[in-house]
Structure 1
Amino acid sequence: MDSFPAYFPLAGRRVVIAGSGEAADNKARLFDGSPATVVRVDGHAAFLPGTYAGAVLAFVAGDDEVFLQAAASAARAARVLVNVVDKPAMSDFNTPAVIDRGEVVAAVGTGGGSPTLATKLRNDIEAQVPEGAGRVAALLRKFQDEVRAALPVLHERRAFLRDAVTGEAAQAAMAGDMDKAGQLLRDALAKGVGREGKVRFIAGKGPSDLLTLRALRALGAADVLVADEGADPEIVTLARRDAQRLEPAQVAAETLVALAQEGKQIVRLIVAPVDPAIVQALAAASVAVEVI
């Protein structure tokens, strides 16, 4: 990892943009709809450290090298991190390509080396992030303390939240009905964890860009991952980092049944047809099975 991504809270904060022109305007548009106060400056004011005092970030844009250097120096004198547009060597940080869903923000950076590539990847990822994702995040933030109080055990709380982000409450939030979403989440919390285990078989030969959205979500929710030898490594990396990894030789039908009965979400990445005997054993044990 050549650059470390970090998120700066913007509520009640100032962002200073020094300079004029299209590049400065583009940086200002990044903060449209955010709770930050955006301050635009140009000319002599851009050279005064006091202009940047208390700001969380500063952006400097323009064609005059002297202006860029003087404004960046003034911002640093005020102990503010500076991005000089299209000048990575003069910058303290680089601006990524941003996917803005309100409380959900995703970003793709290339260390300033290829903004075009970052934009292309941003567009690919954007299709996977629903418009209502920010409302789901807002819902879970609102109920964060209630969830912690009701489920003090960490693994139970994580299990509840993994179900909640795809459950009825999340669907209501996606649709914009926050009152209904809140009631549904409280109802789910009152019922407790009580998860139904499930085994999902996913074709793992690759390439990874052929995976469906359902498959991507299953990998992201997996408690246990069992990948055949020959599964595409890029698909394997899409599973949760903290998912338990088991070798296929370790996993007989009885093992899958036992894990599912514990409420685990199991993903079996396969490169050959599923053994019918395994599916029959799961069905006989009333374990939910999905083939993706």
Structure 2
Amino acid sequence: MDAFPAFFPLAGRKVVIAGSGEPAEAKLRLLESSPAELVRVEGPQAQLPGAYAGAVLVFIADPDEAFCRGAHAAAKAARALVNVADRPELCDFTTPAVVDRGEVVAAIGTGGASPMLATMLRNDIEQRVPEGTGRIAALFRRFQDDVRSRFPELHARRAFLRDALSSAAAEAARTGDMDKAQQLFREALAKGPKAIGKIQLVSGLGPADLVTLRASRALAAADLLVIDPGCDPDILAMARRDAERADPEETSAEHMVALARDGRRVVRILARAPQPGEAQALAASGVTVEVLPVARG
């Protein structure tokens, strides 16, 4: 990872756009739906540090090289983070291609190397992230404290939220009926999660592009990863980064079964083919077991 992606909260924050012409207008269009205080500066004012006082981000876009360099020096004197269009050597950060769904934002960056590639990837992602997704995030934000209070244990909270993402409440939010969504969410919160855990056996042999959709989803939803040595690192990169990780030599079948009974998702990543009867032996303990191999052909 050559650059670390980060999201800056913009509510109540000041963002300055310095410059004139179409490049500056493009930056303005990028941010016009945000809750930030947008300040546009042009001409000699842009060369003064005071124009950037209190700004969290500064975008400079102008065809005049001298203007850009002078504005950059002034913004840096005001201790702002600066992006200068088409001048990567003057940038503290680059501007990604953005998929904007309100409270759900996806950003694709290439470090300034290929904006066209980032735009192409953004178009692909836009087709996969439906309108209304941001309203689901807004619903979850509305009940964030209630969920934490109701489920103080992290694994129980994850189980509830996992169910809630595919619930009738989420669908009502997606379609815009927020009153109904909130009512359904409150009802689900009162009932609690369906404590349905499982153990999933996933091939870690690779290559990663042969991993099935079901296996990639299992990796993304795992509470515990039990990983064989020698697994393909590209497959491991698909797993949740904050999931607990364990050595198979130190993790008994009984422990995995106990976690599954408690409603957790346990993913066993194998650097070998599943042993005969391995899944059946786990399933005999009364938990759901799935074998998710890579796709072949």
- TM-score, shorter chain, exceeding 0.5: yes
Residue in 1 that maps onto 2:221: 221
Q: Distance in 2 between matches of 1:203 and 1:127?
A: 29
Q: Distance in 2 between matches of 1:66 and 1:135?
A: 44
Q: Is the 8 A contact 2:159 2:263 kept in 1?
A: no
Secondary structure, counterpart of 1:100 in structure 2: strand
Residue in 2 that maps onto 1:285: 285
Q: Is the 8 A contact 2:279 2:291 kept in 1?
A: no
Indicate yes or no: 2:47 matched with 1:47. Answer: yes
Indicate yes or no: 2:34 matched with 1:58. Answer: no
Q: Is the 8 A contact 1:253 1:281 kept in 2?
A: no
| Matched length | 292
Residue in 1 that maps onto 2:295: none
Q: Residues 256 and 158 of structure 1: is their aligned pair in 2 closer, same or farther, counting only changes over 3 Å? A: closer
Q: Distance in 1 between matches of 2:110 and 2:54?
A: 28
Q: Distance in 1 between matches of 2:267 and 2:228?
A: 11
Q: Distance in 2 between matches of 1:88 and 1:76?
A: 15
Partner AA of 2:190 in structure 1: A
Q: Distance in 2 between matches of 1:277 and 1:216?
A: 24
Deviation at 1:250, TM superposition (A): 5.1
Q: Residues 246 and 148 of structure 1: is their aligned pair in 2 closer, same or farther, counting only changes over 3 Å? A: closer
Q: Please show how residues 135-284 of structure 1 align to structure 2 within 5 Å.
A: 135-193=135-193, 195-249=195-249, 253-270=253-270, 273-284=273-284
Moved more, 111-120 or 59-68: 111-120
TM-score by length of 2: 0.81
Q: Is the 8 A contact 1:205 1:271 kept in 2?
A: yes
Q: Is the 8 A contact 1:128 1:213 kept in 2?
A: no
Q: Distance in 1 between matches of 2:28 and 2:224?
A: 44
Partner AA of 1:136 in structure 2: I
Q: Is the 8 A contact 1:198 1:266 kept in 2?
A: yes
The two structures, once aligned, show a CA RMSD in angstroms of 3.1
Moved more, 46-55 or 133-142: 46-55
Secondary structure, counterpart of 1:268 in structure 2: strand
Partner AA of 1:44 in structure 2: P
TM-score by length of 1: 0.82
Q: Is the 8 A contact 2:19 2:61 kept in 1?
A: yes
Secondary structure, counterpart of 2:100 in structure 1: strand
Could you list the runs of 5+ residues in structure 1 that have no partner in the other structure?
Answer: none
CA offset digits 1:102-139 (Å, max 9, x no partner): 11223343443444554455556656655443222211
Residue in 1 that maps onto 2:10: 10
Deviation at 1:197, TM superposition (A): 1.0
Q: Is the 8 A contact 2:17 2:24 kept in 1?
A: yes
Q: Please show how residues 77-96 of structure 1 align to structure 2 within 5 Å.
A: 77-96=77-96
Q: Distance in 1 between matches of 2:122 and 2:207?
A: 19
CA offset digits 1:187-244 (Å, max 9, x no partner): 2221235521112233433332344444333212101223445532111122122323
Secondary structure, counterpart of 1:205 in structure 2: coil
Q: Please show how residues 114-153 of structure 1 align to structure 2 within 5 Å.
A: 114-116=114-116, 118-119=118-119, 122=122, 129-153=129-153
Moved more, 203-212 or 143-152: 203-212
Could you list the runs of 5+ residues in structure 2 that have no partner in the other structure?
Answer: 293-297
Q: Is the 8 A contact 1:253 1:278 kept in 2?
A: no
Q: Distance in 2 between matches of 1:21 and 1:93?
A: 21
Percent identity over the alignment is 62
Q: Residues 275 and 139 of structure 1: is their aligned pair in 2 closer, same or farther, counting only changes over 3 Å? A: same
Q: Is the 8 A contact 2:164 2:170 kept in 1?
A: yes
Q: Is the 8 A contact 2:17 2:27 kept in 1?
A: yes
CA offset digits 1:2-21 (Å, max 9, x no partner): 54433222223332222223
Q: Is the 8 A contact 2:10 2:36 kept in 1?
A: yes
Q: Residues 145 and 248 of structure 1: is their aligned pair in 2 closer, same or farther, counting only changes over 3 Å? A: closer
Secondary structure, counterpart of 1:30 in structure 2: helix
Q: Distance in 2 between matches of 1:137 and 1:225?
A: 27
Q: Residues 250 and 125 of structure 1: is their aligned pair in 2 closer, same or farther, counting only changes over 3 Å? A: farther
Secondary structure, counterpart of 1:26 in structure 2: helix
Q: Distance in 2 between matches of 1:109 and 1:118?
A: 6
Partner AA of 2:67 in structure 1: F
